[in-house]
Amino acid sequence: MSTNVAFAADSGAPTEPGITWIQNFLYNDTTWDWHDFTYQVILDAERIDPGQATVGFNFTGFHNRNGKIIQYQGFADGLIPTGSSEVLYKNIWKTMGSAGIALDHWYRLFLIPGMQHCTGTAVDAPYYIASASQPFALGPEVWSVPGFSDPKHDALLALIAWTEEGIAPDAIIGTKFINETVSAGVLRQRPICMYPKQARYNGFGDPNLAKNWHCQSLY
């Protein structure tokens, strides 16, 4: 059984992030009720323009401290448009590139085919990389990637290896456990490639094995 994101829209209500954004960012009023939504809310948003957390793209200070970023998002994210991650990446690339700082040395984006918001898949996609909230989705005692606790499969271990040993990840192998149950075994694995590369099947071998895929640039 796949883990699916439960959308409040199924009951007629908007998603919780949409409600809290209007309450906290737009009106600074936690009592605002979504039943009061009218077109005026849209006009107020355009007029006030509260912005969002990521409004600056100059990460020079972070880069100079030897900071490293592994950003990831699911292509099937139903809450945050996947394209927003690409927009962020490209804006940082433009800003930092003008200062002569290459992104690949400190910031890498991984877009995960078939993954929903942070975790879960409706199509048995190999999405699991032990990132935030993912282990708990498989069970309260799950940590890292069971059976594959190494930087090639675990995003956090990949970040540690990059920061402490200078080993940058070109790909992180995503895992899909059968019925989201670790004890049931692995259904399939596949490399999740660094943007703007994409996993391509070699054309032979078991497609459920990561070794039969390679990363190829989209451009």
Higher-confidence residue of 8 and 138: namely: 138
Amino acid 1: pLDDT: 35
Query: Does 30 share its domain with 107?
Result: no
Query: Does 89 share its domain with 20?
Result: no
Report pLDDT digits (tens) over 45-96.
888 876 665 568 999 999 999 999 999 999 999 888 899 899 999 999 999 9
- Does 65 map to a domain? yes
By DSSP bridging, strand 69-74 and strand 186-193 are unpaired
Query: Does 98 share its domain with 148?
Result: yes
Query: Does 117 share its domain with 194?
Result: yes
Number of H helices and E strands in the chain, helices first, is 6, 6
Query: Pick from 128, 167, 166, 164: which is nearest to 149 by CA?
Result: 128
Query: Does 106 share its domain with 136?
Result: yes
- Does 55 map to a domain? no
Report pLDDT digits (tens) over 84-119.
899 999 999 999 998 899 999 999 999 999 999 999
- Percent of the chain at pLDDT > 90 equals 79
Report pLDDT digits (tens) over 178-187.
999 999 999 9
- Does 122 map to a domain? yes
- Does 54 map to a domain? no
Mean pLDDT (the chain) is 91
- Does 194 map to a domain? yes
Amino acid 3: pLDDT: 38
Both tokens of residue 214? 């390679």
What are phi and psi for residue 75, nearest 5 degrees? -70, -20
Amino acid 53: pLDDT: 56
Q: Which contiguous run of DSSP H or E holds residue 94? A: helix 82-97
- Does 3 map to a domain? no
Query: Does 76 share its domain with 181?
Result: yes
Q: Which domain holds residue 103?
A: 60-217
Q: Which residues contact 142 (CB under 8 A, 6 or more apart)?
A: 135, 136, 182
Q: Note the pTM of the prediction, 2 decimals.
A: 0.81
Query: Does 193 share its domain with 121?
Result: yes
Amino acid 8: pLDDT: 45
Confidence of residue 27 (pLDDT cuts 50, 70, 90): very high
pLDDT at 121 over 60: yes
Both tokens of residue 105? 């040395």
Structural contact between residues 72 and 111, judged by C-beta atoms closer than 8 angstroms: yes
Q: How many CB atoms lie within 10 A of CB 35?
A: 6
